[in-house]
Amino acid sequence: MKKISGFIKTYLDQPLWLLVVCFTLVFMHLIFDGTLLRMFHLYNSQKILENRIARIQVKNSLVEERLKRLKSDSRFLEQEVRDRFNLVGEKDIIFIFSDGEQENFKWE
């Protein structure tokens, strides 16, 4: 018992050794507790979310630019409506092709 107490007293008198032992104990506690692993996962999740935020901000800016253009340019608005809803203008010509079956049409 005296050997152990003497051993502890000699190392307690050396502050650098005591600091290394304390850091080792704290690090081992973080590893065995799982805190270090959770911190690593949280850091990775943070990076993933930051990337998603950046992509969404880019998409948002593109949508805002398109909205400004739709509000200011009537030709662009008309073209978007035609494309989205398959509409045609008054002077447009429409071609209708059959799918191979012959149908009887009466031209009146």
Question: Does 20 fall in a domain?
Answer: no
> Is 66 within a domain?
yes
Q: Is residue 27 part of a domain?
A: no
In a domain, 64, yes or no: yes
Name 36's Cβ contacts closer than 8 Å, sequence gap at least 6. Answer: 30
Q: How many domains does the chain have?
A: 1
Q: Is residue 65 part of a domain?
A: yes
Q: What is the reported pTM?
A: 0.52
Q: Is 4 domain-assigned?
A: no
The structure tokens listed for 97 are 């092709």
In a domain, 18, yes or no: no
12 found inside a domain:
no
Q: Is 64 helix (H, G, I), strand (E, B) or coil?
A: helix
> What tens digit of pLDDT does each residue of 77-108 get?
988 988 899 888 888 888 877 766 666 655 55
